[in-house]
Chain A
């Protein structure tokens, strides 16, 4: 039941991935993806509500 070290290793992978996620977010913002998100989110989404 006890696997010492595994907790620490998983946690470190988590930290690394969180940092990688931040970098990807930054890259996406740099490419201008946030504008697409904004444009989609400020108009009523016909697909979401079941009309489009």
Chain B
């Protein structure tokens, strides 16, 4: 008799707790629906642009260079900056890591550049493509160009994903293999990426120096013309497509992208908070989906998705946390 009574009591308590649970999940469901309905507005990017601008100004603050048409020659040039910042920019205080990598690989004395590759591994393993979002002047230039109104901005196209692999080919061929193996009789290789492709060199170094320095002006030829055509194409493409150089061509972005999935600074999406509204993926201009992969190699850590999420499900930081999607 006692046993039966106990069973009855158990059954009713299960029913009551199930009802409570249903009510709770109903409530949560309603809340999630409400949150999901709150999406739509594109968050402001200007705070990030402020940081990008400040960094670009600090690392390119050699004013005498701009006034006299020459470049900085001080000790700071021993050090690399994390972003694509030409060392022939009249204002540049540091060295471009991609230029420096080619210089050492192509030099007679060394086969491999441990100093620069170590620097890239160090920065990449710590922050990944955060550099692209915050610390690269050429990224900022493309961000600003994309703000120019255009009737039909291209968010994606058929071979978008495939074209993104091109930057890895450029890294391997123009930055590593050609400077390493295509050498002159002295054993010296050229920086082929700088020579044939880099639009940052043309914009930050070529145009100001040729404008300010008459000796440079008299030396320009077909290579200068080619690099200006390429730069113009990238500028025009940046108005229509978000960061085309970063997505398809940049070897430095390619290096950092490899580290995104394992970098110490990382993004996280909390599946318990996510209401599957898709606002994050819609906000992302690099076409990533933080719900599927919070640390996609293409993610530049700009934080737009985090701002766009109505449920506060996306976070970022340096510390370890459990039960979050990767």
Contact = CB atoms under 8 A, between A and B. Distances in A.
Q: Do A and B come from one complex?
A: yes
A8 B326 CA distance: 10
Interface string B67-88: 0001111110110100000111
Contacts of A16: 125
A13 B124 CA distance: 12
Interface string A18-52: 10111111111101111011101110110111111
Contact of B99 (A26, A45, A52): A45
Nearest to A3: B326
B324 interface: yes
B175 to A, nearest CB: 13
A7 B206 contact: no
Contact of B220 (A2, A47, A51): A51
A26 B117 CA distance: 11
B216 A51 contact: yes
Contact of B223 (A17, A18, A22, A51): A51
Contacts of B287: none
Interface of B: 70-75, 77-78, 80, 86-88, 94-96, 99-100, 103-104, 107, 109-110, 113-126, 190-191, 194-195, 198, 201-202, 205-206, 209-210, 216, 219-221, 223-224, 226-228, 259, 261-264, 266, 268-269, 271, 274, 291, 295, 320-326
Interface of A: 1-8, 10-11, 13-18, 20-29, 31-34, 36-38, 40-42, 44-45, 47-52
